[in-house]
A and B are shown apart, each in its own frame.
Chain A
């Protein structure tokens, strides 16, 4: 890390340690499963053992009344339905428990309740499922054209939706002298937050409310969803999201199990608890990243991209999700594929196909990990086709700083930045020449060195205007922050977003400190409870620091005249003569000052000392905010890596990994680095390890962490992160969101490096994850291609 980067003090730009770390490092975090409500009972789900079938009968064990539930029992609960205004989108209602049909292995069918989880699982075993198996739709390419066997009978095919864009393709592709085709693919994976889904639900008789401790990133929209699907008033539902062990998009969704448990608590007015275990997560949460691309690049003979043709197939799984819908992924894939590049011809057809797998969900980076992988592998392929260094070709294709703000080929509005500078910075810090020399020299152990680059830009903090085009049932608007000075001069900040690893209890305090100068230890950030925080659609899409952060900044600013009013009175001057000082408080023309603590004390405890014309709105304020231009603040980065490939095992070692990133004004460089590091770790998982394969019957091959590999501390290299700061012209202080970026580029940069290492063999890898097996297979294929005689013999 670039330790020297950071401003002094506690405000914007300061590298202050995270306030929330103490409780986490001491094991004192409070998660849903730490919550115990007296008398709570445990819930287990009997899940579908087959991928596709008709439920002929479900036989409950004798005397299981009130302990074993099927869909018909949950009469008050509605199916989870996510409408969308996107053209061609088809509705797929997801019942809280499967009804009529099962559509993926792991779909909840029966809910069982007992004193302990083990006994609830015993009950599950006593239920008899009679399911008539149907042929499973496993491969999205086959399912796309299949009309007779359908995931949803009421449809006439298996297409959730298709999108199409053609901007200037024909005219520009004709001018190309170089045409490069590639096919790339990402496997299906799970998000694997450290804490899975978790919910404790009970009915509070005094409040007349369904209270849910709920592991979610978006407590307010979850409340809207639960109220809607149970037919309750919103006021009858309170969602408390305590410490949450990672969200990543998995926890922006109302899941059927959560709705079913909410129904139990509403119906029986007793506490119920369900904690997702790792096996449930891997089987029924295999819901991300599976994209397939046919790509054709049209370039000139220097490798300058003129036009791009793409066909994207997304394996959508069985159900659309509420509220983000299955339309988000194909929408983002189609819109983001052009990446940080300057070209004017683009044609793309995107198909989102229903299959017998868990429904697709937005995972950190959403479609961008896939599109970056596709675009960056293609960029390297173009460079090889024109026999130039991929670094140079990439550099020449990037949007240039003088073009900013830049409307790209699909009219995305890149607000600011110097993309080529980030690529050059990555190269310089990486010491490109050193690796080129080492590659030429060769390794003593025979491994092959490969060098890779990848660049991306990341739309962050995009608002109403952008989400409205994705057809969602709900669209984010203004985010709110409620701030209140306390009698002793501290500050309470309440926001509707949720912090679950992002460090917002620290960064939001830094924002408030920037305006009011209060020590961040005296600034308390409250989030995660619909009962105590203002409405927000929550934490997703790298939006919180810009949106809720902007609201917090403005709210603090609104307090200042009210503070000055009291302060001026106390120092004995006119309001117009007094000024607010972050250190001293309110200062009069003579230099006499009264500190914030005293001003607060006067307002709350000694109003007899306050001016008669004091601002009666007091020292608390709730302010809403979104940027005037809400098309997004685009963060961006270039990654550079060197790898060593063992040709005898297919093992890839990452020797160096450099990141040059720009997320606008840094609020806390250490938090930015932490977010980047975590994201890159997940990206390395996508690139090298994580995968759930399905057999022809739709059975997943991984249901434990013995089969589903995650990168551990020994697999994550020592990342070197370097910052640039180009403020966004559209946001408060020029801050941009950056929570997802780290997870976007690793597959692209690692595959580019490996392909560089393999160049002499003629082999090329293009499907995640890059297992040793896949790498050796490609080497075998290449060997047969280059030695046809041996193959014949």
Chain B
């Protein structure tokens, strides 16, 4: 399959990109690394009239140490994150290192992955668990959205058609923070069948536990996270995890439930190792 004809624009700055998207009146799509949009164009599942290539915008390609947090430009590739020396936030590199495989990481971008919003993708799970903030640019300027509120459902986000993910701000972890990230993929490079992320950062009074690879957006298991913060990993019993999942994804079939219970428990276990 080859893509249907489209107009290809390569703006020179973020303002130009926003203008190009707005000019498409709903028929323009930003292109990051093209690891999802590329195949969708070729399969003619996505048929934008205009493709706005933002992958080369220098302003979106840097990783900056902002003191309390790291700022990742929207067009930063997974490979850049993987290779970066991120003081206080090495967990970002660990997550990046296990996204698909290197050929995809070389091109795929953090902003593109978020905007595409595959429910099983890594960043839509890891960033809410890390209490990150998504920086969005549009015709009216910039706005910031907590990562946990960014994704509205499967392949759906808070982005409007003329908005762009320009950066992701991820707070550094305290020295005593515990991070556990676990996903189950049928084979290397595939999207996971189940996934979960846990952050326990007592110094910052953070207790977060998120589960991903659901039918919709990743979900937070708040109450269970608080319990784990108090009692440790032992609080994540099979019954407790299944009960917590009942609240956010009721009516799962037994096999899916088993997979997600396993993911949550192993993420917690890893965090406390």
Contact = CB atoms under 8 A, between A and B. Distances in A.
Contacts, number: 64
B188 A714 contact: yes
Contacts of B265: 648
A117 B2 contact: yes
Contact residues of B: prevailing secondary structure:
loop
A279 B193 contact: no
B184 interface: yes
A773 interface: yes
Given A649-B262, A715-B187, A773 B255 contact: yes
B139 interface: no
A584 interface: no
Interface in A746-792: 771-773, 776-777, 780
Interface string A681-714: 0000000010000000000000010100101101
Nearest to A780: B254
A277 interface: yes
A279 B5 CA distance: 19
Interface in B1-41: 1-5, 39
Contact of A689 (B187, B254, B255, B258): B187
A649 B184 CA distance: 7
B5 A122 contact: yes
Given A279-B43, A704-B39, A772-B193, A118 B258 contact: no
Contact of B189 (A117, A125, A712): A712
A279 B255 CA distance: 30
Interface string A673-685: 0000000000000
B259 interface: yes
B83 interface: no
Interface string B252-266: 001100110110011
Contact of B187 (A116, A709, A773): A709
A572 B189 CA distance: 71
Nearest to B261: A648
A486 interface: no
Given A118-B5, A649-B262, A715 B190 contact: no
A685 B3 CA distance: 30
B204 interface: no
Given A772-B259, A780-B254, A780-B255, 6 more contacts: A117-B2, A118-B2, A125-B4, A689-B187, A709-B186, A771-B186
A116 to B, nearest CB: 7
Contacts of A776: 254-255, 258-259
Contact of B1 (A121, A772, A773): A121
A651 interface: yes
B41 to A, nearest CB: 11
Interface in A89-121: 116-118, 121
B104 to A, nearest CB: 12
A784 to B, nearest CB: 10
A703 B62 CA distance: 37
Contact of A116 (B2, B184, B261, B262): B2
B4 A118 contact: yes
A714 B100 CA distance: 13
B69 to A, nearest CB: 34
Contacts of B191: 706
Interface size class of B (residues with CB under 8 A): 20 to 34
B188 A689 contact: no
Nearest to A775: B255
A277 B189 contact: no
Nearest to B238: A648
A773 B257 CA distance: 11
Nearest to A118: B2
Interface residues of A, number: 26
Contacts of B193: 649, 772-773
Contacts of B262: 648-649
Contact of B188 (A117, A118, A715, A772): A715
A116 B1 CA distance: 11
Nearest to A703: B43
Nearest to B2: A118
Nearest to A280: B1
A717 B123 CA distance: 30
A128 B43 CA distance: 19
Nearest to A715: B187
16 contacts: A118-B2, A118-B5, A279-B1, A648-B259, A648-B265, A650-B255, A651-B186, A704-B39, A706-B39, A712-B188, A772-B184, A772-B186, A773-B193, A776-B259, A780-B255, A780-B258
Contacts of B5: 118, 122
Contacts of A777: 255
Interface string A115-139: 0111001100100000000000000
B43 A714 contact: no
- Which of B194, B258, B259 is the most central at the interface, judged by chain A CB atoms within 10 Å of its CB? B258
Contacts of B254: 776, 780
A159 B188 CA distance: 41
Contact of A709 (B1, B190, B255, B258): B190
A277 B1 contact: yes
Contacts of B189: 712
Interface string B169-190: 0000000000000001011111
B180 to A, nearest CB: 15
Interface string A197-234: 00000000000000000000000000000000000000
B187 A712 contact: yes
Interface string A221-262: 000000000000000000000000000000000000000000
Identify the 7 closest CB pairs spanning chains A and B, nearest first. Answer: A118-B2, A648-B262, A714-B188, A776-B255, A649-B184, A117-B2, A780-B254
B226 to A, nearest CB: 24
B186 A689 contact: yes
Nearest to A784: B254
Contacts of B4: 118, 121-122, 125
A715 B44 CA distance: 31
Contacts of B43: 279, 704
Interface string A639-676: 00000000011110000000000000000000000000
A122 B254 CA distance: 45
Contacts of A715: 187-188
Nearest to B190: A709
A121 B189 CA distance: 30
B181 to A, nearest CB: 16
Given A118-B5, A649-B193, A772-B193, A711 B187 contact: yes
A122 B44 CA distance: 10
Contacts of A773: 193, 255
A264 to B, nearest CB: 19
Contacts of A772: 184, 186, 193, 259
Contacts of A121: 1-2, 4, 44
Contacts of A780: 254-255, 258
